[in-house]
A = this chain, B = another copy of it.
């Protein structure tokens, strides 16, 4: 058996998120269909692909990671897999890289660091090429408040206030996560808030971004934000969720990857 690790980029707009669903087009569903077709699976057979985690409807990825096991006797090498899968996927989903992986590699359980980028377009008009790909924010926005808020995130925190309920068992799990780094990049009208950490709760990056932008607009005080972060209670929830349009899963790192 050969296990392959794939790096996937997708434009989230046309999809109902990563995770396969019976009645909606999802990235995982499309990749499993392409894998099964390339592998010559019969009716009812399916090759499973395991992602590093889910992304929501409309959320983009530049470096989602997943693994799959080739069927016994499959003779494709990693480059041939990449090409064959891309031929069978829409241009909005691309296998950027494919490599053979150790047989015990697991895209979800072995991930040790994820980096998300949230794109805010700060200008009176959202350019047409940014539609669906950034959050359009206009008017007053204090970048120093964004920077201070992002800096306050580093370290281990209970993110209860910045997690939405999925309505499943995961709602009962620990909501303590470690943020390794969170920082702002500015390039003209484009602000990018980056969050790098050991894991992220459901809607966590969007709730953090929504809260920080609200503070930078002067509509909430930064003390409100830091209180939710440092003194969480079961009842207090951050109510401002930034739209999916601006969110990108940029990369997933694994313990055994060479340092850059």
B94 contacts A10, C-beta separation under 8 Å: no
Provide the A86-130 mask, 1 if CB < 8 A to any CB of B, else 0: 100001111110000000000000000000000000000111110
A91 contacts B11, C-beta separation under 8 Å: no
Tallying the copies of this chain within the complex gives 2
Secondary structure class of chain A's binding surface, majority of residues: mixed
The interface centre, meaning the residue of A62, A91, A133 with most chain B CB atoms within 10 A of its CB, is A91
Q: How large is the interface on A (under 10, 10 to 19, 20 to 34, 35 or more residues)?
A: 20 to 34
B128 contacts A91, C-beta separation under 8 Å: yes
The reply on A179 being an interface residue by CB < 8 A is no
- The CA of A9 and the CA of B9, in the complex, are separated in Å by 26
For A10, the closest partner residue in chain B by CB is: B128
Task: Point out the residue from B95, B125, B128 that lies within 8 Å of A92, measured CB to CB.
Answer: B128
- Which residues of A approach B to under 8 Å, CB–CB? 9-11, 60, 62, 82, 86, 91-96, 125-129, 131-133
For A12, the closest partner residue in chain B by CB is: B128
